[in-house]
Amino acid sequence: MEPVSPRQSEIVARARRDGRVAVDDLAVQFDVTPQTIRKDLNELCDRRILQRVHGGAVYPSSVTNVAYDSRRMLAAEGKRRIGLATAGLIPDNTSLILNIGTTTEQVAAALRRHRGIMVITNNLNAAHILREAPAVEVVIAGGVVRRSDGGVVGEATVDFVRQFRVDFAVIGVSAIDEGGELLDYDYREVRVAQEIIRHARQTILVADAMKFERRAPVRIAHLSDIDIFVTDRPPPAATAALCADQGVQLVVADGDGDDAPADDPDRMTANRTEPAAEGAV
C-alpha cells in the first residue's frame, strides 16, 4: 500500500485536532480543487483512516457510535431514572417532541400514564412504546427511516417539525464536552434536533453521566440553550457551574427513593405531581 501524501497527512492531522474536515475549507487551505480534496478523502476513507460524511470527513474516534441495541444496555438504570424524573417535569394536557435516543425512549415509557398529552417524535421506538397509551396522542414525523435505530431523519423531517410550536422538547445527545457543547454523530439527526429546540417553549436535555466521557463531531447546541438538564449522577464541577451561571435547572435523578419499575403507575403519578423534587440542585 502506498504511503499517504504530505497533503493527506495534514488532512488527517486537522481531522484529529478538529474532529471534522470540510471539502471546501480544505480546498481553500491547500489551494487545490474540491475534486482533488474529495479524491484525498476517498483514499483516506478507503484505508479507514477517516470516515466520510456529507461535505467532508471525520476522525473515526469521534464518529463511531455504539450499536443501538448495545446502547440500550449502557447505563440502563440511570436512563430509567432520568425517564421518570423527566416525566415528573411534564404536566398533563401539554405537547412535546421527543428526539432519537435510548434515553428519550425511557422518557416515553414514563409518560404512558399521562393524560391529554400530544407527543410528536422522529423516534419510531418511542412511538411504539406510546402507541397503546390510552390518553396520549402520538404523531410521527415523516422522513427517511434510519435502519440502525428506527430514527426518522432528513429534510422532510426538518420541514415536518417546523409545523409545530410545542410546550416541551425532550432532547438526547451522544456527548457533552467540557465547554458545554452538546454533540452527536449524524449531521442529519442534528438538523432535526436543532429544529426541535427552535420550536419548543422549554427544552429538557436528558443525558446520563457517560455522555461526559464520550466524543462526537457534530454540534447540536450549547448547554446555555437548554432550560432543564436531567442526568443520573452529579455532573463535573465545571458543568454544574455552567448550569448555575446560565440559569439551567439541573435535576439529578440519583435513585434515592426511586426503586419502583419504570411502568409502575403509582411511581409515575408521584413523579408527575411532585416534579423531580428529590433530584433538583
Between 205 and 45, the more confident residue is 205
pLDDT of residue 88: 97
In the chain, the amino acid numbered 131 is R
Let me know whether 86 and 58 are in one domain: no
Identify the CATH number of the domain in which residue 82 sits. 3.40.50.1360
pLDDT of residue 254: 82
pLDDT of residue 77: 86
Residue 108: is its pLDDT beyond 70?
yes
In angstroms, rounded to a whole number, what is the distance separating the alpha carbons of residues 170 and 147?
Answer: 22
Let me know whether 151 and 252 are in one domain: yes
Let me know whether 111 and 127 are in one domain: yes
Residue 140: is its pLDDT beyond 80?
yes
Residue 264: is its pLDDT beyond 70?
no
Let me know whether 224 and 112 are in one domain: yes
Residue 114: is its pLDDT beyond 60?
yes
Let me know whether 14 and 121 are in one domain: no
* Domain assignment of residue 281, yes or no: no
Let me know whether 97 and 235 are in one domain: yes
What is the DSSP-derived secondary structure letter of residue 280?
B
Which residue in 32, 44, 106 sits closest to 75, CA to CA? 106
* Domain assignment of residue 37, yes or no: yes
Number of domains within the chain: 2
Identify the CATH number of the domain in which residue 15 sits. 1.10.10.10
Q: What is the pTM of this model?
A: 0.69
Let me know whether 123 and 47 are in one domain: no
Let me know whether 75 and 45 are in one domain: no
> Mean pLDDT across the stretch 51-62?
77
* Domain assignment of residue 94, yes or no: yes
Average model confidence (pLDDT) across the chain? 85
Q: Please answer whether residues 250 and 237 qualify as being in contact, where contact means their C-beta atoms are separated by less than 8 angstroms.
A: no
Considering the chain, what percentage of its residues have pLDDT values greater than 70?
84
- 244-260 pLDDT, tens digit per residue, is 999 999 999 987 544 33
Let me know whether 112 and 210 are in one domain: yes
Let me know whether 58 and 76 are in one domain: no
What pairs with residue 64 in β-bridges?
none
Let me know whether 55 and 102 are in one domain: no
- 60-90 pLDDT, tens digit per residue, is 654 445 445 545 555 678 899 999 999 999 9
> Mean pLDDT across the stretch 108-112?
97
In the chain, the amino acid numbered 140 is I
* Domain assignment of residue 211, yes or no: yes
Let me know whether 132 and 161 are in one domain: yes
In angstroms, rounded to a whole number, what is the distance separating the alpha carbons of residues 153 and 144?
Answer: 5
Kindly state the cell numbers that stand for 142: 415523516
pLDDT of residue 118: 98
Give SS3 for 117: strand
- 143-176 pLDDT, tens digit per residue, is 999 888 899 999 999 999 999 999 999 999 999 9
pLDDT of residue 272: 29
Give SS3 for 82: helix
* Domain assignment of residue 171, yes or no: yes
In angstroms, rounded to a whole number, what is the distance separating the alpha carbons of residues 89 and 272?
Answer: 6
* Domain assignment of residue 118, yes or no: yes
* Domain assignment of residue 1, yes or no: no
* Domain assignment of residue 119, yes or no: yes
Domain that holds residue 24: 6-62
User: Sheet of 181-184: strands edge to edge?
Assistant: 175-176, 181-184, 218-222
In angstroms, rounded to a whole number, what is the distance separating the alpha carbons of residues 117 and 139?
Answer: 11
In angstroms, rounded to a whole number, what is the distance separating the alpha carbons of residues 96 and 143?
Answer: 19
